[in-house]
A = this chain, B = another copy of it.
């Protein structure tokens, strides 16, 4: 590989001058710079990131950690992250899986945005303690080197419950995510509060935020739901799973069984009947997270932000006429 040293030799200058020239330092004369750039070009020089990183102690790369590269769910979020990052002169890499946690302590990346439950609080705190800057999207963590930007889960869940309520539903099930999911727990809490306020009984069924678990939950609810029931799936994925189940029965969604989800994933729009759900700007979520992280890396102060949500009505929830 051709290095700065080769350029120096060929251009008849010192190594340091080449470095200055390449980095656009004003110390070097326009004439020498041109000569050096020409030689670099000719030799097809490419900087060695490892060497640069070793010296400068930064990579200008930040990592986004996702549970499973995130399927459909994250498209817009990624877009939001990438736009901001690029515009600030950083690159993005997307990572998944325990193995790649090492990028953070080993300095392959300058900082991380985390939306990945498999990254434990403990591990995150350990790295924060080492001075790594982190933004989390799926939990709250109290450390000067960690910030979060969270959805307004409570508002969302309340919106969903109100919708069911106003459509006349009183027999309501809620299907949760994994018990260690922050989002699931926040949403569930709001459901409970709503139930209490309205003196309503809500039956809880445990799910895992996956299609399969949604299907299973439907199977469990089905026998006892009688002729009609409403279900609040704490994410869309599970709601879609329910569709899969009811398609196999003679119950029709939006008529006998009423479903609302959370997240407004792409599928929600195409499934039929259209899934009622809670929407929020994933792109903004990503953008805010990136902005926060960059501020942290620059030693600026940041304040926690919140992503607002809105209801998306859908024919998956029909109204109960007489009540």
Q: Is the CB of A108 closer than 8 A to any CB of chain B?
A: yes
What range describes how many residues of A lie at the interface?
35 or more
Q: Given contacts A54-B54, A270-B240, are A100 and B91 in contact (CB under 8 A)? A: yes
Task: Give the docked Cα–Cα distance between A253 and B40 (Å).
Answer: 59
With beta carbons under 8 angstroms apart, the residue of B46, B54, B92, B96 that contacts A100 is: B92
Are A46 and B105 in contact, with the CB atoms below 8 A?
A: yes
Task: Give the docked Cα–Cα distance between A75 and B74 (Å).
Answer: 11
Are B270 and A48 in contact, with the CB atoms below 8 A?
A: no
Q: Is the CB of A283 closer than 8 A to any CB of chain B?
A: no
Could you say which residues of chain B place their CB within 8 Å of the CB of A51? 50, 54
Q: Is the CB of A309 closer than 8 A to any CB of chain B?
A: no
CB distance from A314 to the nearest CB of B (A): 14
Highest count of chain B CB atoms <10 Å: which of A53, A68, A240: A53
With beta carbons under 8 angstroms apart, the residue of B68, B92, B106, B243 that contacts A46 is: B106
Question: Which parts of A67-99 form the interface with B (CB within 8 Å)?
Answer: 68-72, 74-75, 78-79, 82, 86, 91-97, 99
Q: List 13 A-B contacts (CB under 8 A).
A: A46-B106, A49-B50, A50-B51, A69-B74, A69-B78, A70-B75, A72-B72, A72-B266, A78-B96, A92-B95, A93-B94, A93-B103, A271-B272
